[in-house]
Chains A and B, each alone.
Chain A
Amino acid sequence: EAQVTQNPRYLITVTGKKLTVTCSQNMNHEYMSWYRQDPGLGLRQIYYSMNVEVTDKGDVPEGYKVSRKEKRNFPLILESPSPNQTSLYFCASSLRGTGGDNQPQHFGDGTRLSIL
């Protein structure tokens, strides 16, 4: 089954303790992206990756890191989490990100992070 898989689904942690949220897709997609969803603010893009070893900032990148060493994986890293990063996070992928023809994005089921 074609899917985007995020882990963990839920995490409660404390300020300053480094954490990583993993994202994996099995569709051989070139493009992957991370979003956060907050009440009243909708979905905002954190980082995206056009392909292996190619990453770029989205609209709200502060406090986050990403890496794309393999095509299928795109982990989100919070080096020193703070309470304002408490949110619902989604990973998404699409066939490609280049070119003039935007491709549909497929989302994972989300990771709810609570940082105390």
Chain B
Amino acid sequence: GENVEQHPSTLSVQEGDSAVIKCTYSDSASNYFPWYKQELGKGPQLIIDIRSNVGEKKDQRIAVTLNKTAKHFSLHITETQPEDSAVYFCAAARPYGNNRLAFGKGNQVVVIP
């Protein structure tokens, strides 16, 4: 089955700097890659997703890039703010796979004011 790995496990950044989290996946058939943000006491919230027919997608301060050849995708957060502090999960899914997501183990991002 699909194996998704996230690096680094913990990331500390100064407020205003950029944060980058990288995920690798094993199944070359995967074509859907969402990113979730989980704040303390809350459920994962979808923040951005990308499909394999595009290489990059942006939404304000958040962007995701996908490299299908290398089988990795990354979350980029620019101009980080304290409210960006959370655990971030990446996931991957293949088409016609009953919408089943394979999640990475999560990254703790700490934004230092």
Contacts and interface: CB of A to CB of B under 8 A. Distances in A.
A1 to B, nearest CB: 14
B49 A104 contact: yes
B98 A97 contact: yes
B98 A50 contact: yes
B23 to A, nearest CB: 12
Is chain B's binding surface mostly helix, strand, loop or mixed? loop
A50 B98 CA distance: 7
Contact of A48 (B43, B44, B99): B99
A109 B104 contact: no
Contacts, number: 62
Interface residues of A, number: 31
Given A108-B43, A110-B42, A103 B100 contact: no
Interface string A20-51: 00000000000101000000111111001010
A84 interface: no
Interface string A40-74: 11111100101000001010000000000000000
Contacts of B93: 102
A40 B105 contact: yes
A9 to B, nearest CB: 9
10 contacts: A33-B99, A45-B101, A48-B98, A50-B98, A58-B100, A104-B46, A104-B49, A105-B34, A106-B46, A110-B42
Interface of A: 4, 31, 33, 40-45, 48, 50, 56, 58, 90, 92, 94, 96-110
